[in-house]
């Protein structure tokens, strides 16, 4: 029996090429195993073999998705694989998006089983978990020892065409798809049993998990705008030309604070945001951050004053956890500086 041929996709970091400074490398292929593929290959126990590894920089992929996918698919085709595995990406945002996107593309183009792995809060999970199977991993590469065996085991189920159980049984992220199954007890009895367990504070597993939404209490209305200090915050990626803080175009890991004391209009600014046509924002950054209009309102006495700096990051693919951390940091400063309200803009 011939071994199952596997192609593995990893980013520049796990390939040992470099970190953020090498995130712009173009796709390349290497025969055999590289990086975490070594551990994964051993877990196949001779039934499957990684015949080739595709490597691509996270920034290059996310900034050139269509071009990168075409390049990568041709490299994958050259190995005539039976199975494709991407990652695992853990909670690395741009890596997760790349793993999800290329796995979906391979599934559609080559019609072979595909699999990836990532943390539940990775933006790639939100974007692609309904399209491809994703083994749930920990937050960081520290969980590699548990992630790889789970990926190897699930891979063999996929390639052998075995029945795939529920996410809680198999360890993959929910795909959002439901299917009918037959059970011994009718729905009414199962529902009553769950209710009794809930009332007794006992553990139970719902058959229909509900989505969990963040509940944000609205702030109190400002009684007199003519005395209010207003700050500007954007996820539209507006930065000084050249992007001195190197804010990523997708899955941002940072935000910038830019002084606008005495500045009436945003000249010499551009957007670092990926995923949309930046030409209008680059031509006039006031379209994303309306500083020019607010200065007119300030001069007319309609608002008290504009805070002396604006904060900016990129919302494209940025993890909720990261966004929350940004907000907590900058909010402390805004409160300490007695800001009354924030205008939050996007793309």
**CA gap 343, 341 in Å, rounded:** 7
Q: What is the pLDDT of residue 198?
A: 93
Q: What is the pLDDT of residue 262?
A: 92
Contacts of 83 (CB under 8 A, 6+ apart): 4, 5, 6, 7, 48, 112, 113, 114, 115, 155, 158, 159
Other beta carbons within 10 angstroms of residue 50's beta carbon come to: 23
Contacts of 309 (CB under 8 A, 6+ apart): 257, 258, 259, 260, 261
CATH superfamily of 4-170: Response regulator (3.40.50.2300)
Q: What is the pLDDT of residue 208?
A: 78
- Domain spans of the chain? 4-170, 225-345
Q: What is the pLDDT of residue 283?
A: 94
pLDDT along the chain (347 residues), means of 10: 90 91 92 94 92 94 91 96 95 90 95 94 88 93 93 93 86 83 87 94 84 78 94 95 90 91 94 86 95 96 95 84 86 94 91
Predicted TM-score (pTM) of this structure: 0.67
Helices (H), 47-91: 58-63, 65-77
At residue 51's C-alpha, the angle toward residues 49 and 57, to 5°, is 120
Instruction: Indicate the angle between helix axes 93-110 and 65-77, nearest 10 degrees.
Output: 50
């Amino acid at each position: 029996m011939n071994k199952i041929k596997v192609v593995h996709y990893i980013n520049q970091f796990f390939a040992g090429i470099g970190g953020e400074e090498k995130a712009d490398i173009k796709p390349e292929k290497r025969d055999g195993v590289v990086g975490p593929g070594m551990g994964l290959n051993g877990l196949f126990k001779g039934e499957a073999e990684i015949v080739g590894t595709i490597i691509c920089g996270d920034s290059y992929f996310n900034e050139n998705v269509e071009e990168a996918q075409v390049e990568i698919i041709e490299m994958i085709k050259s190995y005539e694989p039976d199975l494709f595995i991407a990652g695992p990406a853990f909670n690395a945002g741009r890596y997760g998006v790349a793993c999800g996107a290329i796995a979906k593309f391979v599934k559609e183009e080559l019609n072979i089983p595909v699999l990836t792995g990532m943390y539940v809060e990775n933006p790639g999970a939100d974007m692609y978990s309904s399209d491809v199977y994703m083994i749930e991993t920990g937050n960081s590469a520290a969980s590699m020892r548990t992630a790889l065996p789970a990926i190897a085991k699930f891979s063999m189920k996929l390639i052998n065409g075995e029945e795939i159980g529920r996410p809680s049984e198999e360890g993959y992220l929910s795909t959002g798809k439901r299917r009918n199954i037959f059970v011994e007890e009718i729905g009414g009895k199962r529902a009553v049993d769950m209710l009794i367990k809930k009332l007794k504070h006992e553990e139970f597993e719902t058959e229909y998990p509900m989505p969990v939404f963040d509940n944000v209490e609205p702030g109190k209305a400002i009684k007199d705008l003519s005395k209010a200090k207003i700050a500007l915050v954007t996820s539209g990626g507006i930065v000084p030309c050249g992007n001195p803080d190197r804010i990523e175009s997708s899955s941002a890991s940072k935000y910038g604070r830019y002084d606008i004391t005495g500045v009436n209009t945003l000249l010499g600014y551009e957007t670092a945001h990926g995923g949309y046509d930046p030409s209008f924002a680059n031509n006039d950054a006031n379209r994303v951050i309306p500083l020019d209009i607010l200065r007119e309102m300030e001069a007319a006495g309609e608002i008290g004053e504009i805070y002396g700096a604006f904060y900016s990051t990129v919302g494209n693919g940025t993890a909720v956890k990261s966004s929350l951390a940004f907000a907590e940091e900058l909010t402390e400063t805004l409160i300490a500086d007695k800001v009354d309200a924030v205008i939050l803009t996007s793309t």
